Structure 1
Amino acid sequence: MKWIEAVSYEDMSQIAATIFKEQLKKVKTSVFGMATGSTPEGLYKELVKAYQAGELSFAEAKSFNLDEYIGITPENKASYHYFMDENLFNHIDMKRENIYVPTGDTEDIEKAATDYDAAIATVGGIDIQLLGIGVNGHIGFNEPGTPFELETNIVELTQSTREANQIYFDSINDVPTKAITMGIQTIMNAKKVILLISGTSKQDAYERLRSGEITTDFPASALHNHKDVTVIYTGVK
């Protein structure tokens, strides 16, 4: 596991963007695993700037998002489909047919989970998986206690996770109680993982990850078993 301490949020975003840009310039058909939330917004801004400056093209690349809420449509402004469109996809040349986000508004959600892993396998797997981390150590929506061997699956969201995501909804009552998420095994199947950690609220999670303890009580600790993980951390946001 490689550790990089950035001097600022902007620095963290630029370091991560450089890794993504180098991968795309090397392999035009790269497959990226994307994440949502406030932490990667700066990275996405850097990628959009690079595209608009003519530095790179996403025309042959593909992306798979980590997760989506169950019970809301892609058009919902709180959905991760909407977040990704607003922060990245509407501003670059990645083809719509190459953009994958888990389906959270289908009647057969279990099939949607199975199909998602099959789609990832069909394109040869994910080259770089982007992650954030929850205050309780969750990655994707894999909450404490999640078995490491799970692939894409349906999860019950903890109260702390729902409260953290309340900022995207009118009230806590509007925050969904379930989500579809890449499982830890799906994440571990990626060739390379980039974990962004930003802000004082994530300090404890960062220190626990750095301790090296591996336990299902702290889902991000599974990353110690991966051969290529880069953690980019800044204590400010």
Structure 2
Amino acid sequence: MEVVICSSAEQIGAHVADVYAEVLRGDDPVIGLATGSSPLVAYGELIRRHREDGLSFAHATAFLLDEYAGLARSHPESYHAVIRRELVDHVDIDPARVHSPDGEAHDLAEECRRYDAAIEAVGGVDVQLLGIGTDGHIGFNEPMSSLSSRTRPKTLTQQTREDNARFFDSIDDVPHHVLTQGLGTIRTAHHLLLVATGAGKADAVAAAVEGPLAARCPASILQLHPHATVFVDEAAASGLEYADYYRYAYAHKPAWQTF
């Protein structure tokens, strides 16, 4: 795992965009997208590069991490709608190639199996962007999720519903259930990028990066991945015991070694 401590959210966004741009230059790229506040700066930079530098998404396929169960795709806070508003409508990717779990499916368990099979059918996700919750969740894998779990329905914790209430009129409107890629599914991506900003994420970041591998901190599964990169600002890095080492390692990173 590489930990990169950045000076600002904008620097994080530029680093993430660098990784995605490299993948997008390849043949038949498959990109993993996340929603929420953490990815927004990176999406803004990718949109800028598309408009100003000609970065193309036209040949890409995308998969979202998760979706609310029971929320219509037309609802403005469905992740199907959010990702189009935040990224898809501003670049040249084919919306039909942007896939998300169907939270309105009649058989949610079967929908989850179908979604995992669709990811496998394209050879897996090349690069997956991840945020982290204050309790260490990634995707909607709440604490005590199985470390080998696949895409499945999950019940949200009250903390996650409270964290997400800012996107709805009230917490009463936040669904209790979701469909999410499991930790085992996420681990099949070839490169994982976790981003975090702000002191509110410091404890979760420290637990994920330096704590034990444990279901109580789902993001700790990054420790098992052969290619995981963590981009954090100074505030989010404030709980890291080995912060000075991460800074030293990055400062002495060889020119031939990319993210």
TM value normalised by structure 2: 0.89
SS at match of 1:173: helix
CA-to-aligned-CA distance 1:3-57 (integer Å, 9 cap, x gap): 10010011111111111111212x1411011100001001111111111124311
**Distance in 2, Cα, partners of 1:83 & 1:172:** 18
**Distance in 2, Cα, partners of 1:209 & 1:109:** 29
State percent identity of aligned pairs.
Answer: 39
8 Å CA contact 1:8–1:236 kept in 2: the answer is: no
**Distance in 1, Cα, partners of 2:155 & 2:211:** 27
**Distance in 1, Cα, partners of 2:119 & 2:227:** 19
Deviation at 1:236, TM superposition (A): 5.2
Deviation at 1:146, TM superposition (A): 0.6
8 Å CA contact 1:48–1:88 kept in 2: the answer is: yes
Query: For this pair of structures, how many residues does the alignment match?
Result: 236
8 Å CA contact 1:61–1:98 kept in 2: the answer is: yes
SS at match of 1:43: helix
CA-to-aligned-CA distance 1:112-134 (integer Å, 9 cap, x gap): 10000010011111000110000
| Aligned AA (1:70) | A
**Distance in 2, Cα, partners of 1:236 & 1:75:** 36
Counterparts of residues 203-214 of structure 1 (less than 5 Å): 203-214=202-213
SS at match of 2:128: strand
SS at match of 1:165: helix
- 1:33 partnered with 2:35: no
Q: Which residue number in structure 2 is paired with residue 134 of structure 1? A: 133
Q: Which residue number in structure 1 is paired with residue 15 of structure 2? A: 15
175-184 vs 95-104, greater mean Cα deviation: 95-104
- 1:225 partnered with 2:224: yes
SS at match of 2:7: coil
SS at match of 1:32: strand
8 Å CA contact 1:203–1:235 kept in 2: the answer is: no
8 Å CA contact 1:139–1:220 kept in 2: the answer is: yes
8 Å CA contact 1:103–1:112 kept in 2: the answer is: yes
**Distance in 2, Cα, partners of 1:151 & 1:131:** 16
Q: Which runs of 4+ in 1 moved over 4 A?
A: none
8 Å CA contact 1:212–1:224 kept in 2: the answer is: no
Q: Which residue number in structure 2 is paired with residue 185 of structure 1? A: 184
**Distance in 2, Cα, partners of 1:175 & 1:153:** 19
Q: Which residue number in structure 2 is paired with residue 70 of structure 1? A: 69
| Aligned AA (1:16) | V
* Cα separation, partners in 2 of 1:150 and 1:131, compared to 1, 3 Å: same
Deviation at 1:220, TM superposition (A): 0.6
8 Å CA contact 1:9–1:236 kept in 2: the answer is: no
Deviation at 1:97, TM superposition (A): 2.2
**Distance in 1, Cα, partners of 2:184 & 2:52:** 36
Q: Which residue number in structure 2 is paired with residue 147 of structure 1? A: 146
SS at match of 2:3: strand
SS at match of 2:70: coil
Deviation at 1:69, TM superposition (A): 0.4
Counterparts of residues 147-186 of structure 1 (less than 5 Å): 147-186=146-185
8 Å CA contact 2:202–2:235 kept in 1: the answer is: no
**Distance in 2, Cα, partners of 1:44 & 1:69:** 21
Counterparts of residues 90-105 of structure 1 (less than 5 Å): 90-105=89-104
Q: Which residue number in structure 2 is paired with residue 216 of structure 1? A: 215
SS at match of 2:49: helix
| Aligned AA (2:93) | M
**Unaligned ranges ≥5, structure 1:** none
* Cα separation, partners in 2 of 1:191 and 1:117, compared to 1, 3 Å: same
Q: Which residue number in structure 2 is paired with residue 24 of structure 1? A: 24
| Aligned AA (1:11) | Q
Give the structure with higher Rg (CA).
Answer: 2
Measured on the aligned residues, the alpha-carbon RMSD in Å equals 1.1
